[in-house]
Amino acid sequence: MTATGFRYDPFDPAVMADPLPFYRVLRDEHPVYYVDRWDTWALSRFDDIWNVLERNDGTFVASEGTLPSAAVLATHNDGPVPDPPLHPLPFHANFDAPIYSELRRCTAVPFRPRSVAQLAERIRTLANERLDELLPRGRFDLTQDYGGIVAASVVCELVGLPADLAADVLAIVNAGSLAQPGSGVEVANARPGYLEYLTPVVTRRRAGDSEPVPIVDNLLAYRLPDGSALSDTEAAVQLLGLFIGGTETVPKIVAHGLWELTSRPEQLADVRADLTGNVAVAREEMIRYCAPAQWFARTLRKPFTLHGTTMSPGQRIITLLASANRDEREYPDPDEFRWDRPIPRLLAFGRGQHFCLGAHLARLEITILVTEWLRRVPEFTVDTAAAARPPSSFQWGWSRLPVQVRGA
């Protein structure tokens, strides 16, 4: 907010310092808000975003990426944006069907419910190994040292990397999410670092020099519509969604969610009363309340009208998922954390064809990480003065959350 009136810009450092008051004004007064600088429309209400994301008729495409930087949005389009060229192939989310859906299927195998369920004991083992190491210290970072290492270890194993690289993977993904104020996250700049880990995995599988990696094997067998195969780098690029999203999101939700619980002793006692039954309920409120991703973008390929405003082909929309998670029209008293809140609908994982591929895995990881923590840690406090959020136009999550444990 400014002295002369309301202004919203996703890249404004003032917005990301505390976006929630901006979202409230957007929902109440500007449900379809035009950001002139980027030729982009911001949607903030739950129902509007729910209905937009379920459309799969080519009206909205991700040709410019689901998280375009300010450098991309600075160029305004004169009309519909075509799909990118096939080579070098970008991340598959930039395409519409059939390429998007086919490549998504290639990477989907380990994220199906039955496959995810088979990971439960491994995740539980990783969580307890971390607690065995951390609890004797008494003080450590809940986001990075606990959930971060566990989530990164799972990612390493799914993509064919040794789990002892988890700390390195976590560090490079965290670095790639940072942004200078006003610029946005420039994913392309971070990719070389990511691909230094991922491309050798593909190269080894193509040569038969490693154990099977189902995701990689599917990508190597895939053929584009012109009959061509993916290069090692192109196949590695398709792993970025898992590599990034699987590493950075769950730890922030777990750490923040546990902080909210310990700040409310009565709610914490309720959850502890039946960990098996109640953590899964509290998990959904943690996801709604604590999910760090703020928005995702699409580019219009067809005209679209909402609340009497017509948006033109070539313009972009950003769906403010974090605003939808706090929409009073969907959730009574949305700024209150209530562990047993009924949540019939949730947008934190997106919706439609771009619904988060790892949603089942994320829910399992959150459930296990929270359960094992509450089972083994009777009392802990958060060093609120040392808690920190990184500068970003996309993430508003606690990347640093130091805790002190007692009686573990």
Tokens of 55: 């459309």
DSSP state of 147: I
pLDDT for 133 equals: 98
Q: What is the pTM of this model?
A: 0.95
Element (H, E) at 360: helix 359-376
Q: Residue 274: CB partners within 8 Å, gap ≥ 6?
A: none
> Could you tell me which CATH number the domain at 13-406 has?
1.10.630.10
C-alpha 208/C-alpha 167 separation (Å) is 27
DSSP reduced 3-state for 299: strand
Extract long-range pairs of 133-138: CB within 8 Å, 24+ residues apart. 135/376, 135/377, 135/405, 135/408, 138/404, 138/405, 138/406
Q: How confident is the model at residue 180 (pLDDT cuts 50, 70, 90)?
A: low
Residue tagged 């070539």 (tokens)? 314
Give the C-alpha separation, 218 to 224, whole Å. Answer: 13
pLDDT in tens, 141-162: 999 999 999 999 999 999 999 9
Question: SS3 of 357, please?
Answer: coil
* Coil, helix or strand at residue 104: helix
Structure tokens that stand for 188 in this block: 């392309």
- Where do the domains of the chain lie? 13-406
Bridge partners, 35 (sequence order): 40
What tens digit of pLDDT does each residue of 302-353 get?
A: 999 999 999 999 999 999 999 999 999 999 999 999 999 999 999 999 999 8
Angle at 387 between CA 402 and CA 252, to 5 degrees: 80
pLDDT of residue 3: 46
Q: What are phi and psi of 395, to 5 degrees?
A: -105, 135
Mean pLDDT value of segment 390-401: 87
Distances (CA, A) of 300 to 42, 47, 79, 249, 311: 13, 19, 9, 28, 8
Reported as a single tens digit per residue, the pLDDT across 188-203 is: 555 778 999 999 999 9
d(CA 210, CA 205): 6
